[in-house]
């Protein structure tokens, strides 16, 4: 397996895992785990697409990653309950 395929596969696996875990209520869509998996997954998929020069997916995954980063900033600014 070449590097772009490995990187892209890892990214897509993270995106699908986040989707599955959210869909079946294992993690919250507005939680750190979901947001983090979306940032990492979209970032890796974007990088892989960049390596192979497939610009439609570079744009898609870059926007996906940026939206997830915006969600992370919102999450970081929100008050959270402390575990006791």
Asked, for residue 36, whether it belongs to a domain, the answer is yes
Q: Please indicate, yes or no, whether the overall pTM of this predicted structure exceeds 0.95.
A: no
When divided into structural domains, the chain yields a total of: 1
3-state SS assignment for residue 13: helix
Q: Which domain holds residue 41?
A: 3-77
* Residue 9 pLDDT > 80: yes
Asked, for residue 70, whether it belongs to a domain, the answer is yes
Asked, for residue 21, whether it belongs to a domain, the answer is yes
pLDDT of residue 22: 98
Asked, for residue 83, whether it belongs to a domain, the answer is no
pLDDT tens digits, one per residue of 33-78: 999 999 999 999 999 999 999 999 999 999 999 999 999 999 999 9
pLDDT of residue 81: 74
* Residue 84 pLDDT > 60: no
Task: State both tokens at 31.
Answer: 């939680």
Asked, for residue 84, whether it belongs to a domain, the answer is no
Asked, for residue 31, whether it belongs to a domain, the answer is yes
């Amino acid at each position: 397996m070449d590097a772009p395929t490995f990187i892209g596969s890892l990214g897509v696996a993270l995106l699908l895992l986040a989707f599955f875990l959210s869909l079946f209520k294992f993690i919250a869509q507005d939680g750190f785990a979901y947001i983090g998996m979306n940032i990492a997954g979209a970032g890796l998929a974007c990088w892989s697409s960049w390596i192979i020069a497939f610009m439609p997916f570079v744009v898609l995954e870059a926007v996906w990653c940026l939206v997830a980063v915006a969600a992370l900033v919102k999450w970081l600014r929100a008050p959270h309950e402390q575990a006791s």
